[in-house]
Structure 1
Amino acid sequence: MKFGEYKRTASEWITTLGNTYFPDYLPSALDIYRPYITHFFELVDECSSSIELFKKINTLTINKGRIQYLRIFRKYFAPNLPVEMLKKKNKEKEIIAAYGSEFRKIEIVKKLHSKSEDEYDKILSAILYEYKDRG
């Protein structure tokens, strides 16, 4: 059978994952991700620049949630950078040289978060939950 012949039966070859409907998973998302978000903003408060924050996140291990913090960093500071690029610790200097000037100013994020912390935490938890079962 040729690949093009699968079109007729494509729905038979798709595996569904049994995803949960939004907002049904929001309580679970908050349970899982609020600690990461809370700690992320503790790190933000400790830093005076977005580059310093990025470097600090890169000192964390995977077990300490480095990838989760990078996902949050990306949403607030560098939405155009792929997480896969940010994940590579050995690319830190290269990323900063090429994209550091495009990172959002940390003062802006501090102000945004202080105004709507709970609302943004819910939204961000829902977004992060979407990544939960991916590779």
Structure 2
Amino acid sequence: SSLDRDEATARIGSPYLGGWMVHNSGHINPFAMTIGLAAALEHEGATIHENSRATRIEKVEGGWRVFTASGSVTAPEVVLATNALTGDIWPGLKKTLVPLKVFQAATNPLPEDVRAKILVGNPAVSDMRN
């Protein structure tokens, strides 16, 4: 549904000319999702090697060898979880990613009366302007 200037401004808490509301979608907390996914993978027996950028992956007998700057590991299966800075770790993967500029801001905790006027109803907001 479309939002006029007053409706968009009231929901977002910042002046907008208008917008639209999509009712069958939502947003996630990326940090909470990452922690939850990691916990679920570890529960299933996966080992997570944080801060170990993979530089190369090779198919080997019985699975895969993943190389990093400080060594390598082998595993029967590998989950390639990456972002837009994938590089050439897997042929063709970089072509499937769409780079997005995402900006976030953090402040000291805001007073409750201010918080009540910003992102009313906890909407996910995007802006296509440069």
TM superposition score normalised by structure 1: 0.24
| Bigger helix fraction | 1
Higher normalized contact order (CA 8 Å, seq sep 6+, divided by chain length): 1
| Bigger strand fraction | 2
Rg comparison, structure with higher value: 2
